Amino acid sequence: MKRFAIEDRVRWSDIDAAGVIFYGAYVRFFEIAESELFRAAGLPLGVLYNSFDCWLPRVRYSCEFRAPARLDDMLRISAWFKRLGARSMTLGFEVEKQDGLRVADCEIVLACVSRATFRAVPLPDALRAALTPFSD
């Protein structure tokens, strides 16, 4: 399994009055890592959606916050596919500071749905094949 990772800095807009990253700011980090993971698999999201005529809406988001991150901390966000199911996939994320301290873990479940009907459809075989190198 190959994990994909990005690095990004905690910005002023990410922190709360206590000076630490607030929970909602993690969504930005996960969205960037997810988009770049699909790109690394050869499927930028615009290409993926048009090629397979599907959407991948998020249906579950779970996060465990382990340690605070503060303004200007450089974070490494690792992303991979924990599960490629019949009609959904589970993305895993780990967030670490430069010193290796784990800050957060997250799972996001994406359903595969028809663009026309928004009903669940099977993951296309070509999509599964492209994502498999980045899966457990």
The string of pLDDT tens digits covering residues 110-128 is: 999 999 999 999 999 999 9
Indicate if the pLDDT at residue 1 is higher than 80. no
Question: What CATH code is carried by the domain that includes residue 67?
Answer: 3.10.129.10
The stretch 78-82 carries a mean pLDDT of 97
d(CA 56, CA 64): 23
Indicate if the pLDDT at residue 136 is higher than 90. no
Burial of residue 112, with CB atoms counted within 10 A of its CB: 0-12 exposed, 13-18 middle, 19 or more buried: buried
- Residue among 69, 78, 95 nearest 136 (CA): 78
What is the overall mean pLDDT for the chain?
96
- Residue among 76, 82, 129 nearest 110 (CA): 82
Split into its structural domains, the chain has a count of 1
Domain range for 37: 4-134
Looking at per-residue pLDDT, the higher value among 29 and 2 belongs to: 29
Indicate if the pLDDT at residue 69 is higher than 90. yes
Please state the pTM of the whole predicted model: 0.93
The per-residue pLDDT for 41 is: 96
- Torsion angles phi and psi, residue 123, rounded to 5: -60, 130
